[in-house]
Structure 1
C-alpha cells in the first residue's frame, strides 16, 4: 500500500479521484440557466412617501414593459426625505438588461443631490419630456446617463446605464402622486 501513495503514480491517481468527485458533484447539483432578478413591491414606500415627503412624489405609471423593480429605499434624515427606486430594464438586443434609478429628494441645494446621483455636474443638453424640460448629463467613464428635473421644493433624477431612449421613456411615464391625507 505504501507504493501507491508515493511517487508520480500516486499523485496522478489522487488527482483523478479528486476530479471524479468534482465531476460527480457538478453532475448532481441543480443548475439554472435562467436569470433570477429579485422583484420587489414598492407600493408601501410610495404610500409612506405620499404621507411623509413635504413635496409631491412621482412614480412610474405604468412601469415600462418587462422592467423589474429591484430596489426601493426611503430615508428621512435631518429633515431631508429621499427616495430611490431601482429597476432592471427589459432585455436588449444583446440579451442583457440595463439599470435605471429614480431618485427624488428635497435636499438643499438641489444641485448637490443631482450632482451626486448623476455622478456629474456637467450638462450635455436638455430634452423636452411630456412638456417639461429635463437636463441631460453623462459620465462616459461610468457608462452613466442621467436626466435631472428641478421642481419647486424638490429634485428628480432618472439615472442609469440604460440608453437615452429608455431613460426618456421612463421619465415620460412619471406621474405626480396626490399627497396622502392623515
Structure 2
C-alpha cells in the first residue's frame, strides 16, 4: 500500500492544506478598513516655483473641504517654461489637478493639459469665466483661464462643481 503523502494525490492534498491555511489566516487577520491617501504639503513647492518664474504665482489660499493634496511638482514645459502641478483627491475621491505656466503658445499648453483643444462652454467662478473642455474617452473635464502672463488649468475626473471649488480657492500670490 502506498503512503498517503506520495505521488500526485499527496501533492494535491498538501497544496489544499497550504491554501486552506492561508485562507483561514486572511479570514481572521484584522484588515484595515479606512482609506489611506498620502497627504503632500505643497507650500515649499509653490514657494520654490515663485522664486523661479518672473510672474505672480497662483495657488489655493486654502484647500477645499475634505480634499487631500496628494502630489506636487515643478517640471519643465516646452520652450523651457516652468510648470507647476498640484494634485488632489477630491471630497468625492475623484482626481483634480491644478497646473500653471507661462509656456507659449498658451493655447497649446492648455490643449496639452486638457487633452483637448475644443471648448464646450464656460463656467463662472467668482465672477470670472473659465473655459470648459471635456474629453469623453478619458472622462476628463478641464477648466482653463488665460491671463496675460500665465495660463491656469484645472483638470481631472472630478465633476464641474468640484473643479469650480478648486478654481474659487485660487488666489494670486504677489511676486516676491
- Give the TM-score normalised by the residue count of structure 1: 0.87
Q: Does 1:83 align with 2:84?
A: yes
Give the corresponding residue for 2:119: 123
Which residues of 2 match residues 136-155 of structure 1 at below 5 A?
136-155=132-151
Query: Offset at 1:13?
Result: 2.2
Hey, what does 1:21 align to over in structure 2?
21
Question: Which string of whole-angstrom CA distances, capped at 9 and with x for unpartnered residues, describes residues 77-134 of structure 1?
Answer: 654111000000113xxxxx10100000111111111111111111101122222221
| CA RMSD between the two structures | 2.0
* Pair 1:167-2:163 in alignment: yes
1:114 aligns with 2:110: yes
Equivalent residue for 1:44?
A: 44
Structure 1 counterpart SS, 2:71: strand
Q: CA deviation at 1:11?
A: 4.1
Secondary structure (helix, strand or coil) at the match of 1:16 reads helix
Q: Normalising to structure 2: TM-score of the pair?
A: 0.90
Aligned residue among 107, 131, 135 for 1:135:
131
Q: Please, which runs of 5 or more residues in structure 2 have no aligned partner?
A: none
Q: Point out the more displaced range, 121-130 or 98-107.
A: 121-130
The aligned residue for residue 73 of structure 1 is 73
1:26 positional shift: 2.1
- Distance in 2 between residues matched to 1:57 and 1:65, nearest whole Å: 22
Change (3 A) 1:14 1:54: same
Could you tell me how far apart the structure 2 residues matched to 1:145 and 1:67 are?
Answer: 18
Residue 38 of structure 1: how far off its partner (Å): 0.4
Distance 1:13 1:104, change over 3 A: same
In the other structure, the counterpart of 2:55 is 55
d(CA) in 1 for partners of 2:55, 2:76: 13
Comparing 51-60 with 107-116, which one deviates more in the overlay?
51-60
